[in-house]
Structure 1
Amino acid sequence: MTRSWVLPVSFLLCGSVVAAALFHGEATGAAAVVLLLFVVLAGVHSPLAFPKPVGALEARRRSALDGRPVVFWRAGCKYCLRLRFRLGRDARRLYWVDIWRDAAGAAAVRAANDGNETVPTVVVAGRPHSNPDPAWVRGQLPDPNDRNE
Structure 2
Amino acid sequence: MTRAWILPLLLMTCGTLVAIAQFVRGSAVGAVPFLLLFGLLAGMNSPLVFPRPVTDAEARRRSAEDGRPVVYWRAGCKYCLRLRLRLGPAAHRAHWVDIWRDPAGAAAVRAVNGGDETVPTVVVAGRPHVNPDPSWVRAQLGRGPRTGEG
Range into which the TM-score falls when normalised by the shorter chain: over 0.9
SS of the aligned residue for 1:141 comes to helix
CA contact (8 A) 2:99 2:105 kept: yes
SS of the aligned residue for 1:97 comes to strand
Equivalences for residues 136-147 of structure 1 within 5 A: 136-143=136-143
Residue 45 (structure 2) aligns with = 45
Matched, 1:57 2:52: no
Percentage identity across paired residues of the two chains: 66
CA contact (8 A) 1:67 1:142 kept: no
Q: 2:46 corresponds to which letter in structure 1?
A: S
CA deviation after TM superposition for structure 1 residue 144, in Å: 5.9
SS of the aligned residue for 1:96 comes to strand
Residue 96 (structure 2) aligns with = 96
User: Where in structure 1 are there 5+ consecutive unaligned residues?
Assistant: none
Equivalences for residues 1-149 of structure 1 within 5 A: 1-143=1-143
Aligned partners of 1:142, 1:3: CA distance in 2, in Å?
33
The TM-score with structure 1 as length reference comes to: 0.95
Aligned partners of 1:129, 1:143: CA distance in 2, in Å?
17
Q: 2:99 corresponds to which letter in structure 1?
A: I
CA contact (8 A) 1:71 1:96 kept: yes
Q: 1:135 corresponds to which letter in structure 2?
A: S
Instruction: State the Cα deviation string for residues 45-89 of structure 1 (Å, max 9, x = none).
Output: 000000000000000000000000000000000000000000001
CA contact (8 A) 1:45 1:75 kept: yes
CA contact (8 A) 2:67 2:144 kept: no
SS of the aligned residue for 1:128 comes to strand
Instruction: State the Cα deviation string for residues 5-53 of structure 1 (Å, max 9, x = none).
Output: 0000000101001100000001111101001100000000000000000
User: Where in structure 2 are there 5+ consecutive unaligned residues?
Assistant: none
Instruction: State the Cα deviation string for residues 125-149 of structure 1 (Å, max 9, x = none).
Output: 0111000000000111244699xxx
The TM-score with structure 2 as length reference comes to: 0.94
Matched pairs, number: 146
